[in-house]
Amino acid sequence: MPNSLLTLSALELLSLLKKRELSALDVCENYISQVEKIRPLNAFVTETPDVARKNAEDADKRYKSGSSLPLDGLPFAHKDLFATEGILTTSSSKILSNFIPPYESTVSQKLKDSGVVLMGKTNMDEFAMGSSTITSHYGPSLNPWVSPSSPTTALVPGGSSGGSTAAVAAFAAIASTGTDTGGSIRQPASYCGLVGIKPTYGRSSRYGIVAFASSLDQAGVHARSVKDAALFLQYMAGHDPKDSTSAKVDVPSYLEAITGDIKGKRIGIPKEYRPEGLSPDISRLWDKGIALLQERGALIEEISLPHTDLALPVYYILAPAEASSNLARYDGVRFGVRVEHPGDTLNDLYEHTRGSGFGAEVKRRIFLGTYVLSSGFYDAYFLKAQKVRFLIAEDFKKVFQNGIDFILTPTTPSGAFSVENPPQDPIEMYLNDVFTVPSSLAGLPAISVPAGLSEKGLPLGLQLIAPAFQESGLLNIAYALEHAVQFKGLTPETIFLPQA
Amino acid sequence: MSHDSSSSLIEGRTGLWEIVIGLEVHAQVTSLSKLFSGASTAFAGEPNAQVSLVDAAFPGMLPVLNQFCVEQAVKTGLGINAEINLVSQFDRKNYFYADLPSGYQISQLYHPIVGQGYLDIDLEDGSQKRINITRLHLEQDAGKSFHDQHPKKSYIDLNRCGVALMEIVSEPDLRNADETVRYLKKLRMILRYLKTCDGNMDEGSMRADINVSMRKPGSALGTRAEIKNVNSFRFIQQAIEYEAHRQIEILEDGGTVVQETRLYDPTKGETRSMRGKEDAHDYRYFPDPDLLPLVLDKNWVETLRKGLPELPDAKKSRFIETYHLTPYEADVIISEEALADFYETGINSLKNKQTGPKLLATWMMGDFFAALNRENKAIEDSPVSAAHLAELVNLINDDTISGKIAKDVFITLWETQKSPASIVEEKGLLQITDTSAIEAVIKRVLQENETMVQEYKSGKDKLFGFFVGQVMKHMQGKAKPEMVNDLLKQALLD
Amino acid sequence: MSDASAVTKETVLKIAKLARIEISEKDIPPLVQEMCGILRWIECLNRVDTSSTPPLSTPLQELNISQPLRIDTVTDGNIVGKILSNAPEVALDMFVVPKVVE
Ligand SMILES: [Mg+2]
Ligand SMILES: [Zn+2]
């Protein structure tokens, strides 16, 4: 019964492993087969079956000796921007296509120390810049979901953590890391019918994560259920002295916080998230979500976050500006791909290396970021954007100060789109993040929970946002919503696999 | 054109010119580890051995600020009479360079840790001049490129990369090379007193970017050229003089000075343009999102203020007042804290606190410094302790030995490190102050030289010195000279 | 805010130099167009008066979390092998680049 093994939740797997009704190696082999089976989805940049087997054997030894670790034997995948010691880490960029880090990111180290079994490194938008996973140097990942009305049209899994969500939705890992800068965990989770949580900025360490925009990047997790997400987040979160922006805030027990009781919780529904022309699909699911929470005793209130429509422009100034600086280190001197022609000066070497090593979207953002920081434009663009960012953060602060406990919004303005015909205009593409970016700018924890299917039969998520460091409460209400929605995910049999 | 380095105006073909100089001093913070990483700051390690993944800007590496470097910057700020900014921020200065791995230097542009301050310099004529300091900020040093190993390649060593620097920026208050060097020496002395920078210019621990511009006296500031990274007082002097003349020549020929970065070439004694370095410069500073605002506790700053050592200016005044030193003597003795400490340790052992301190200073600056110099020794390695030098002064003060004998005692003291008293005793150098003994010798000398006594008495006063010499000779120099004088005068009157 | 349509081919070339990214002639027109578009889109920020608004450079600022500090001890270094392990060109334990003329 290999398939039913794949559909077990992490908590179920753990209990069977503990009782030694299953061996970690068995689980591992099943998952390795699945990783191989879903290769057409291009979810992984690097598969690590040897590492996985070794991890699983170690887990089995610990189970045998009664000294097991909290996540021992759980098949896991990392987005390919978590540095993994001795394992290729590319950020899906040509410029890092030969990079083998001699170090481990804090988050992946913590998960490793908790016993996870590494299935591989997942595909993503190059340097996490995108909402589709199309910008990867390794080609797009595909969504395991497909519209029943158009069963051969391959869809994007979303992005930038699209490989991570495709892998989990297709049962090639039980959960996976992602990073979220403007929605890169929540949007692909929504597109793939998964739970995706971006914790508070500062909740988990950024050490060893290839940086996109440092003031926004935050590691989180995708899983097939809220409780599984809570389980893994538990062992990712926490202060790290190697990251000055990781906060010294205690990590409570997330699973213990999940009771499903949300009676009396005040849920804010921001009117600015229901612009004219919002897809009826999205509106309908949102209303359903509101009704379900209300049924369970939550108090629904309309709120206002007046600067919402400015969030995307702010984001597309600040994130590229930080990125233009963060990506200056890819210069072909100390690591990564070097492109050098005979007779090149150092500047020629830089220009050739970076000109050929970065893809179009990354270049576009470096150009934009360089421009908004350049002499004469700093005040007009960068400083202005930082000030509006303050106003956006204040919007949230006021709402929470007024007693609102959580905010409920759609995760994305639409469902997954076709890989072949993605939006051509960058701005249209950027609009994908319209609902996720504001909370990113404010650094708040947010989670996407599958809420149902669109007219086309594709998953859509609802987003819940909480005050800073209130992940416990956030997971609890997400669980309540998940429970109420009774979303039916894919099974190993219903995964879309394109014909070769 | 003519001028000397301490005059403020230069005579050109078209009249007088004034040099306007401002300095950006980079002082390496004395610390064990780097500003944002745990790698060592030790000088001259094996290539890339003192490099962490953070220094080499590997993907995902993050800076964590060194607490001690912050403390050092604050101490230095207090030492230059500056305001300490309780909230400061680190910014990224973006530019591509071979020895700058991250493509940006972490520095402080918008909110430096230290604001306005000043220091006073002593000019040659004894007057003082206040040089205002604009700011002090913390930043990272870059790595080092080597160009001589290969005809077509440069080699990069990142050992220095990330070492903490304090950039201390002065107002354009300096008017000639002499003032500039005095300012730098004063600044260096304060840094060394504070132990925040070792001031070692040979190892590049302290280097100056010199902004030089020319103007007709009283008119607005001219366009400046920046001479980068000059690292000796002599070169600084030469670079300024060369640059002043270069600019005057351009201006007097009707040209304009280009605002640019120049390099001083000590072998040629000239400055030259660092070509191309300017054209694409746009540093795109912005707050480093990997670091948070640095907030200092006011009480902590006050604790540091209270814990500051006595600084050169205060020490100098105190030495003049308490020990009656001349300003010159005080300057010499306070020039290094170790010298001042040696001096004051000696003072503790002095018996005569009235005349002793002055005599101790004379001795330190005389035979003692001469001996140190001769053997190229630092004060810390002196074979003669402060207590022994003071003991020698005590022996002179209480008439045990004469100043002349003391010089001999000092030589033995330097060689043997025995106590001066024991040397005097062993060698039988005790000064004779016994009136009858001296009188007996005088009597003999006068008897032996009767003719000369007659000549003296008939008015040949100059012979007095001869009699003194004869008496001293008979007494192997041990008689107290003043007593010999008095007793001899008396005897010759008889 | 400056005029977004001021982005020209020259602007793009200047930025390409600053960012050390080689750009081919054919890529310039679409980049000019895209940047103009994005910058025009961004201009809506002018709508809000921010004359008395402080900038927010990190969300942690809002939480009054200030810069953590490290004790000054040597805890790192002596990993030349790791430092050089990914380098495209190395000699004498140093990174090698085309000769830099100062
Ligand atoms: Mg400077
Ligand atoms: Zn500097």
B2 inside domain: no
pLDDT tens per residue across span A87-98: 999 999 999 999
Mean pLDDT in chain B? 92
Q: Which of B290, B291, B292 to mutate to test the interface with A (most CBs of A within 10 A)?
A: B290
Distance B140 CA to ligand 2 centre (A): 8
**B66 and B86 fall within a common domain:** yes
Q: Count how many domains chain B has.
A: 3
Asked if the Cβ–Cβ distance from A426 to C2 is below 8 Å, we say: no
**Does residue C74 sit within a domain?**
no
Is there a domain that residue C31 lies in?
A: yes
Mean pLDDT of chain A: 96
Using a pLDDT cut of 90, give the percent of chain A over it.
95
Task: Say which of B60, B286, B288 has its CB closest to residue A209.
Answer: B60
Counting Cβ atoms within 10 Å, is residue A437 exposed (0-12), middle (13-18) or buried (19+)? buried
In a domain, C23, yes or no: yes
User: Given pLDDT bands bounded at 50, 70 and 90, which one contains residue C1?
Assistant: very low
Residues B62, A242: C-beta atoms closer than 8 Å:
yes
Put simply, whether B86 touches C (Cβ < 8 Å) is no
The CA distance from B138 to the nearest CA of chain A, in Å, is: 17
How near does any CA of chain B get to the CA of A330, in Å?
8
Residues of chain C in contact with residue A103, where contact means CB-CB under 8 angstroms, are 82
- Counting as low any pLDDT under 70, the low residues of chain B are 1-7, 275-280
Residue tagged active-site, from A131, A141, A164, A184? A184
Report pLDDT for A1.
Answer: 42
Contacts of C29 in chain A (CB under 8 A): none
User: What is the domain count for chain C?
Assistant: 1
Last residue of a domain, one of B402, B426, B450: B426
A26-49 confidence digits (pLDDT tens):
999 999 999 999 999 999 999 999
Look over chain C and give the mean of its residue pLDDT values, rounded to a whole number: 92
What is the layout of strands, in order, in the sheet containing C90-91? B144-146, B153-157, C94-98, C90-91
- Using beta carbons and an 8 Å cutoff, which residues of C are at the interface with B? 17-18, 20, 57-58, 60-61, 65-80, 82-84, 91-100, 102
Tell whether B1 is covered by a domain.
no
- Which residue's structure tokens are 């390795």? A32
Q: Which amino acid is at B374?
A: R
- Name the phi and psi angles at B97, rounded to 5: -155, 150
Residue C98 domain-assigned (yes or no): no
Nearest to A363 among C21, C59, C63 (CB): C21
Task: Show residues of chain A in contact with C53, CB under 8 Å.
Answer: 387-388, 390-391
Q: Is residue C26 part of a domain?
A: yes
Instruction: Identify the domain boundary among B304, B319, B347.
Output: B304
Give a yes or no: residue B4 inside a domain.
no
Q: Which domains, and CATH codes, for chain A?
A: 2-258+444-485 (3.90.1300.10)
Q: Quick check: B142 contacting A, CB < 8 Å?
A: no
The C-alpha angle B306, B308, B311, rounded to 5 degrees, equals 130
Query: Could you confirm whether A160 is annotated as catalytic?
Result: yes
Which residues in A have their CB inside 8 Å of a CB on B? Answer: 81, 83, 89, 91, 96, 99, 101-103, 105, 206-211, 213-215, 241-245, 321-322, 324-325, 328-329, 331, 333-335, 346-347, 350, 370, 373-375, 378, 382
Chain B, 34 to 93: residues with Cβ < 8 Å from chain A are 53, 56-65, 92
Residues B207, B259 within the same domain:
yes
Determine contact: B154 vs chain A, CB below 8 A.
yes
Q: Which residue type is seen at A205?
A: S
The pLDDT of A157-172, averaged and rounded, is 98
C28 is in which domain, residue-wise? 4-46
Write the pLDDT tens digit of every residue in B161-171.
999 999 999 99
pLDDT for C5: 55
Residue of A nearest to C57 (CA): A386
| Nearest CB to C15; choose among A334, A371, A444 | A371
Structure tokens at B344: 């004051």
Assess whether pLDDT exceeds 70 at residue A3: no
Do B316 and B291 share a structural domain?
A: no
pTM, 2 dp = 0.93
How many angstroms is it from B228 CA to the middle of ligand 1? 9
Name the catalytic one among A23, A79, A110, A204.
Answer: A79
Which C residues, 48 through 87, put their C-beta within 8 Å of a C-beta on chain A?
48, 50, 53-60, 62-63, 65, 67-68, 70, 79, 81-83, 85-87
C72 assigned to some structural domain: no
CB contact under 8 A, C72 and B32: yes
- Over residues A224-268, the pLDDT tens digits come to 999 999 999 999 999 999 999 999 999 999 999 999 999 999 999
Q: B50 to chain C: which residues are within 8 Å by CB?
A: 77-78
Question: Cβ distance A356 to C22 under 8 Å?
Answer: yes
Q: What is the pLDDT of residue B9?
A: 87
B partners (3+ CB pairs within 8 A) are A, C
Residue A184 annotated to the active site? yes
Residues of chain B contacting residue C65, judged by C-beta atoms under 8 Å apart: 292
Task: Give ion ligand 1 contacts, CB < 5 A.
Answer: B 24
C33 to chain B, closest Cα gap in Å: 23
Query: What pLDDT does A257 receive?
Result: 97
Of the partner residues A347, A350, A368, the one whose CB lies closest to the CB of residue C35: A368
Measure in Å the smallest separation between the Cα of C54 and chain B Cα atoms. 13
Q: Which residue has the higher pLDDT, B424 or A324?
A: A324
Partner C contacted by B140 (CB < 8 A):
no
**Separation of CA A379 and ligand 1 centre (Å):** 22
Are residues B156 and B282 located together in one domain of the fold?
A: yes
Same domain, B408 and B441: no
Distance from CA of B57 to the nearest CA of A (A): 7
- B98 shares a domain with B170: yes
C16 in a structural domain: yes
CATH assignment of the domain containing C20:
1.10.20
One domain for residues B276 and B324? no
> Has residue C3 got a pLDDT over 60?
no
Show which of B426, B449, B475 is a domain's final residue: B426
Distance B268 CA to ligand 2 centre (A): 26
**Which positions in chain A touch B286 (Cβ < 8 Å)?**
321-322, 325, 373, 378, 382
* Arithmetic mean of pLDDT, C29-42: 93
d(CA A269, CA A458): 24
Residue C89 in any domain: the answer is: no
Tell me: pLDDT of A2 over 50: no
A91 is a catalytic site residue: no
Domain span including residue B384: 310-426
Q: How far apart are CA B277 and CA B98, in angstroms?
A: 13
Q: How far is A360 from chain C (nearest CA, A)?
A: 9
Q: Which of A93, A108, A141, A160 is catalytic?
A: A160
Whether residue A404 contacts residue A460, with contact meaning beta carbons closer than 8 Å, is answered with no
